[in-house]
Amino acid sequence: MGIEATLEALERDPVFDIEVAKFKSKDGSIVFSLELPKDLINLKKGSKVLIDLGEEADGDLVMKGIVYKVDEGEKKIEVSFHGLWMRVSYRRNPFDLEEGKEVYLVMKLLK
């Protein structure tokens, strides 16, 4: 399934050798912030992607992580991929996740 999103910004972290990619869903109801090793995947501002958090699947980027936080009050999810963080803010939770659960991030680049 997945959520279609657009890369709004790609920033270099001032301390670590990583980039922080900030995506917004097509309808604007979900915002993703994802830390990535520099030059891991060819992303540019305006890139369109399909993002899913769930079972392992094929994609241009697949990372296995652990769900650290699901906060329905603040409408936020945090997932760690071996120290790289993904933070999700939403109006309505699009994922069926529990804290402590292993999860796969699957990202496909759209043309």
**Domains in the chain with CATH codes:** 3-109 (2.40.50.140)
Residue (of 103, 33, 23) closest to 68 by Cα position: 103
The model's pLDDT over 56-97, given as tens digits with 9 standing for 90+, comes to: 889 999 999 999 999 999 999 999 999 999 999 999 988 989
Most confident of 35-39, 53-57, 80-84: 80-84
Q: Is the pLDDT of residue 1 over 80?
A: no
Question: Whole-model pTM?
Answer: 0.90
Q: What is the model's pLDDT at position 40? A: 86
> How much is the pLDDT for 72?
94
For the chain, the distance separating the N- and C-terminal CA atoms, rounded to the nearest angstrom, is 17
